Amino acid sequence: MFAADLVRKISLPISIEFIRVQSYGNRTESSGVAVISTELQIDIIDKHVLVIEDIIDTGTTLSRLVSYLKEKGAASVSVCALLDKVLRRKIPLQLPPGSRFYRGFECPDDFVVGYGMDFAEEYRNLPYIGLLKPAKYSAVSD
């Protein structure tokens, strides 16, 4: 939802590509391994890429995606994140020269859902961001 709302406000000509990268699955903790399950369909060689993220947590997924985009030849890889859980970061964000980082809000270490963010593929459709009660996810084993 964040990406859709954001791109509607961009008045420049752009190409939009969706890449699925995940390190959570149905868990509440990152597995520590980010898997890219969708390859790029457009050429990004010498192009300036903007990654739109709903939330940055440990940095595992974003770090893998930035590396992947650099490998594919992007001139720059900037990141725009709605929420950033700085206190949970395990991998520091390292962007290539000429790239920028845009953060909407720094987020406390709570499990958030809604506005495109899910827990086990649920709650993604909520039109707002809310905190998930621990009782909802405490039974899920890591």
Residue 9 identity:
K
Residue 114 lies in a domain: no
DSSP string for 67-95 = HHHHHTT-SEEEEEEEEE-GGG-SS---P
Residue 57 a catalytic site member = yes
Whether 8 shows a pLDDT value over 90: the answer reads yes
Q: 7 is in which domain, residue-wise?
A: 2-107
- Which of 43, 57, 84, 110 is flagged as catalytic? 57
Q: How many domains does the chain have?
A: 1
Domain membership flag for residue 96: yes
pLDDT band at residue 27 under the 50/70/90 scheme:
low
- Residue 71 sits in a domain whose CATH number is 3.40.50.2020
Whether residue 27 is contained in a domain is answered as: yes
Distance CA 44, CA 117 (A): 27
- Is 66 inside any structural domain? yes
- Strands 130-131 and 112-113 turn out to be antiparallel
Looking at the chain, the whole-number percentage of residues with pLDDT higher than 90 is: 77
In a domain, residue 70? The reply is yes
97 pLDDT higher than 80 = yes
d(Cα 125, Cα 85) in Å, to the nearest integer?
Answer: 21
Domain-located, residue 101: yes
